[in-house]
Structure 1
């Protein structure tokens, strides 16, 4: 009985000694995570060891426990979001280990990229060189985003930090600007201050990547910097933005701002902050038990709805007023008065009374409610902020609060 047992143990010793432990990327008993045959595993540490004494020597046969974990999102010790990977994977993706994840089995890998790079890692940060320091050089800074798997449909871009040069007098982004190419969506050219904003971009079919390029002037020395969080969404993700929605909000109430909205006028001629050639949808997901939505000016400033006309030439006491004074354009304008820059709220009601037009512009917005579904606010600007008899002087854009209203029946 003893001889067959010794033969069996000898065979196990030969088998264990033949394993290429280097391919496991671990030292026995290290308790770290690696890869084995395409799976993630945790090597057991000092458990289930078998020993037998023979000729005064003790042989140990570690038994391995295989533990798998998903590449889920994690929060790094630097307060940035990352993806749970093995240490080896994180290094291969050019990431930085920032704490642990999956109950200590994985590494929270934060991937940060800058100019001239590419990524296929979900949750990648795209920053200017030497971020968070300001970037004073000029040229093109591009990142290429490849799908992290074949089931990816959308890219969400969060403007964690984004401040580049303001548009020129016409509202065009000519000094610094950001473009998005290779997508199935129409994305406007963006410049100015957009920290806190977000956009959704659809991937094209197949393996076509999306490119984000930030072009900065070689002659302008403005302080500029950016940090964009790039999150990939799978096709069956419940958080996908509907078709036609460049921005998508999912809360019961929230704040929506136009691109480059600010409390002060631009330093360029005429001081407009509005960008030209915009035509996009701002969508709000209808919550269960809610049937309508209300749009109103934010109370943070008098300038929270100044999207057309000579804002700089108005008495501040009429900004945001509820009067409709078409002759001087010093409050809310609607209908045929809104042909250049305006927002669209379908089937609108103000004070319980139906409004005969869904277009709104000027320098004030009366609180407006609609039950049209889906909940969409459309933003339109023309190609030149200085054209027409009255240039768009010192327009800030808009900062609106939306509130979903519960169903009454």
Structure 2
């Protein structure tokens, strides 16, 4: 009598930002072989924690390794593998939740080179979230221009240049797969002697996901307390960068009716960009106040800061800051202090 063997695994791959489907494989149940030839097991490509300590996405083993990932523990009750992807220079991946890393990270490197790291976009992707562990490059000049090292993105125009030191924050890029099916991160370093390194987690967000930030928001904060910092906020000096055009957005959380903002710039600094560059604050402040002003830029020769004292804004709905730095000739220094960068603590207050 001819016996029935097991069928080979059937594999499909999808992205984290497509919640309606997931990886699957087909197996045969010995007890049910005469009733049903196949038993299909499906699981979502959801976020997972790898045994390495890094985040990953739950894929089948084959889907993971075919796109350059590494198995880092199991998920989906053992039917999937937690796929951690660490992208090297000159590499490309379609895996979601990918880490963009400098050569031999966490080691530093000190040389001139061009490093291009490419993310293949899902057809339904509208945004990419960058969770920055650190970007440590040569900083800008005193006008905020990246003349030595620079990071550029192939899609989105919120930041035409990035350099300096940025740690422990996040940013959003708006992307359009119909314009280009890929997103390139291009790091260019020069011969300046400097210890460089970077690591960012890159997550694709599909157009129908609730986790999407409002379009145009370069940062989106969704907790009752937090800290707002910009590119190069941890630099030394921490000059704000030129070539920025984005909104900083805060979601109003449930049962809160106001938000208090407090400037937390380092001692001897005060963030208030010169005119030609603009920071617009949510709400309207008393123009007669010497501490909380509704000005959005600082005329040359004056001193001040919009957040010397805490500001509490009684405003429902989302709060939006608009930060535009168009003037590449503005010196970011005063006679008595540095202009510095965005460093703002916020707290949403209960009703």
Q: Tell me the TM-score normalized by structure 1.
A: 0.72
- State which of 301, 311, 318 in structure 2 corresponds to 1:368: 311
> 1:278 corresponds to which residue?
244
8 Å contact kept, 1:293–1:369: yes
8 Å contact kept, 2:131–2:168: yes
- State which of 88, 92, 96 in structure 2 corresponds to 1:118: 92
User: What are the within-5 Å matches in structure 2 for residues 236-251 of structure 1?
Assistant: 236-251=208-223
User: What is the distance in 2 between the residues matched to 1:188 and 1:369?
Assistant: 32
> 1:57 corresponds to which residue?
none
Gaps of 5+ in 1: 1-9, 25-33, 51-61, 267-271, 309-337
> 2:149 corresponds to which residue?
176
Query: 2:127 is paired with a residue of what secondary structure?
Result: strand
Query: 1:68 is paired with a residue of what secondary structure?
Result: strand
Query: 2:126 is paired with a residue of what secondary structure?
Result: strand
Is the counterpart of residue 383 in structure 1 residue 320 in structure 2? no
> 2:167 corresponds to which residue?
195
Deviations 1:230-272 (Å, cap 9, x if unpaired)?
A: 100011111111122111110011110132123x742xxxxx6
Deviations 1:34-58 (Å, cap 9, x if unpaired)?
A: 638996236468x6399xxxxxxxx
Query: 1:397 is paired with a residue of what secondary structure?
Result: coil
More helix by share: 1
> 2:24 corresponds to which residue?
40
The number of residue pairs the alignment matches comes to 331
- State which of 72, 76, 98 in structure 1 corresponds to 2:72: 98
Gaps of 5+ in 2: 14-21
Q: State the Cα distance separating 1:163 from its structure 2 match.
A: 0.6
Larger radius of gyration: 1
Q: State the Cα distance separating 1:170 from its structure 2 match.
A: 2.6
Distance 1:398 1:355, change over 3 A: closer
Q: State the Cα distance separating 1:349 from its structure 2 match.
A: 4.0
Deviations 1:82-101 (Å, cap 9, x if unpaired)?
A: 11111111111111100000
Distance 1:90 1:258, change over 3 A: closer
> 1:151 corresponds to which residue?
124
> 1:401 corresponds to which residue?
345
Query: 1:67 is paired with a residue of what secondary structure?
Result: strand
Q: Tell me the TM-score normalized by structure 2.
A: 0.83
Which has the bigger relative contact order, CA under 8 A and spacing at least 6?
A: 2
Q: State the Cα distance separating 1:107 from its structure 2 match.
A: 0.6
